[in-house]
């Protein structure tokens, strides 16, 4: 079976990550102001998952959209489904597990639409690989949701190349959201990013700053990488964080980093990377710092 043509990913070049929104302690007007500030920086895409905040984050974001109705037409919403968590928000879930069945995907989409106070999801991702996934059933479900106008585009998250390929042969996907940073380079070695280049598929990147480990000191690898980022940043007159984002974006798959900071200055660091054309030797300086040795 041939590959389906990849769908064009219509997101801003930096995406705002919402997974900690429930921890920010922002009232509704403050949430609206934060979204407006992100939009002013050119960040128009916002990344969610149904499970974030114990199934609470989408509703917090939806309250902001309801309070300022004009916002929805100025932004894109990404959300994910497929992980079933146990807890008061989902009493029917007896066990943490994965579920890519039609029934679960459709129910998750309807719940997300209601929580987000919107009539459509711009991009829906399967959050984790489901060992029991029936790719034909998933493809048929995606086709149905698209025809209904509930979801405009589809992708996966944290999927290995073989898992993505199995679904891509049946339905045109838009992205694979993966972990990638100067401290976590597995995607360079396992074929994930090679596949993205081959398919013309832009990956979305979660934890681009390695959950802050790039700047918190600690182990020798993090210290080496931070020193390299800081040195190149001084040469360019930008922050070490901006160079980390530029390092990610330098890959030919044209990755889209997800900036998860509440701080607007943190979002500015990510946006500033759009103006950095990192030389190949600088990219490899950071690679070498992470690996602890020269290229073979």
Q: CATH assignment of 15-174, given 1.25.40.10, 3.20.20.100, 1.20.950.20, 1.10.940.10?
A: 3.20.20.100
* Main-chain phi, psi angles of 38, to 5 degrees: -65, -45
Band of residue 3 on the pLDDT scale cut at 50, 70, 90: low
Residue 9: the pLDDT is 73
Q: What are the residue ranges spanned by the domains of the chain?
A: 15-174
Predicted confidence (pLDDT) per residue in 272-296, tens digit: 999 999 999 999 999 999 999 999 9
Predicted confidence (pLDDT) per residue in 194-225, tens digit: 999 999 999 999 999 999 898 876 799 999 99
Percent of the chain with pLDDT over 70: 97
Query: pTM to 2 decimals?
Result: 0.96
Mean pLDDT score of the chain, rounded to an integer?
Answer: 96
Residue 56: the pLDDT is 98
Distance of CA 182 to the CA centre of its chain: 17
What does the alpha-carbon distance between residue 198 and residue 208 come to, in Å, rounded to a whole number?
22
245 catalytic per annotation: no
What does the alpha-carbon distance between residue 164 and residue 167 come to, in Å, rounded to a whole number?
5
Per DSSP, the residues of 171-195 read S----EEEE-BTTB-HHHHSSHHHH
* Least confident among 35-39, 134-138, 217-221, 234-238: 217-221
- Over residues 113-132, mean pLDDT: 98
**Considering only CA atoms, which of 72, 12, 35 is closest in space to residue 262?**
35
**Is the pLDDT confidence value at 237 over 80?**
yes
Residue 59: the pLDDT is 98
Band of residue 191 on the pLDDT scale cut at 50, 70, 90: very high
Residue 2: the pLDDT is 61
**Considering only CA atoms, which of 202, 211, 243 is closest in space to residue 226?**
243
Residue 217: the pLDDT is 67
Q: Kindly name the residue from 52, 55, 245, 284 that is annotated as catalytic.
A: 52
Per DSSP, the residues of 43-104 read --EEE--TTHHHHTHHHHHHHHHHHSGGGGGG-EEEEEE-EE--STT-TT--S-EE---HHH
**Is the pLDDT confidence value at 112 over 80?**
yes
Bridging pattern class, strands 123-126 and 256-259: unpaired
Band of residue 5 on the pLDDT scale cut at 50, 70, 90: low
In sequence order, the 6+-apart residues with CB closer than 8 A to the CB of 124 are: 78, 79, 80, 81, 109, 142, 145, 151, 153, 154, 155
**Is the pLDDT confidence value at 1 over 60?**
no
């Amino acid at each position: 079976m041939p590959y389906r043509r990849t769908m064009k990913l219509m997101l801003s070049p930096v995406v705002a990550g919402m997974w900690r929104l429930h921890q920010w302690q922002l009232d509704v007007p403050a949430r609206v102001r934060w979204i407006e500030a992100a939009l002013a920086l050119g960040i128009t895409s916002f990344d969610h998952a149904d499970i974030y905040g114990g199934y609470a984050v989408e509703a917090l974001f939806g309250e902001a959209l309801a309070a300022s109705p004009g916002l929805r037409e100025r932004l894109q919403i990404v959300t994910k489904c497929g992980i079933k968590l146990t807890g008061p928000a989902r009493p029917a879930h007896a066990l943490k597990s994965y579920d890519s069945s039609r029934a679960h995907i459709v129910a998750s989409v309807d719940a997300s639409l209601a929580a987000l106070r919107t009539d459509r999801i711009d991009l829906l991702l399967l959050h984790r690989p489901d060992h029991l996934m029936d790719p034909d059933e998933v493809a048929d479900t995606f086709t149905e949701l698209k025809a209904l106008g509930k979801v405009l585009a589809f992708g996966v998250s944290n999927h290995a190349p073989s898992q993505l390929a199995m679904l891509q042969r049946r339905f045109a996907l838009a992205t694979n959201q993966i972990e990638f940073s100067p401290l976590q380079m597995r995607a360079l070695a396992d074929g994930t990013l090679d596949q993205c280049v081959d398919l013309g598929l832009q990956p979305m990147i979660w934890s681009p700053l390695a959950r802050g480990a790039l700047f918190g000191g600690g182990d020798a690898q993090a210290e080496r990488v931070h020193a390299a980022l800081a040195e190149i940043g001084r040469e360019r007159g930008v922050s070490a964080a901006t160079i980390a984002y530029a390092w990610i974006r330098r890959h030919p798959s044209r990755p889209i980093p997800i900036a998860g900071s509440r701080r607007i200055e943190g979002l500015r660091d990510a946006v500033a990377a759009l103006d950095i054309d990192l030389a190949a030797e600088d990219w490899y300086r950071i690679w070498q710092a992470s690996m602890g040795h020269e290229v073979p």
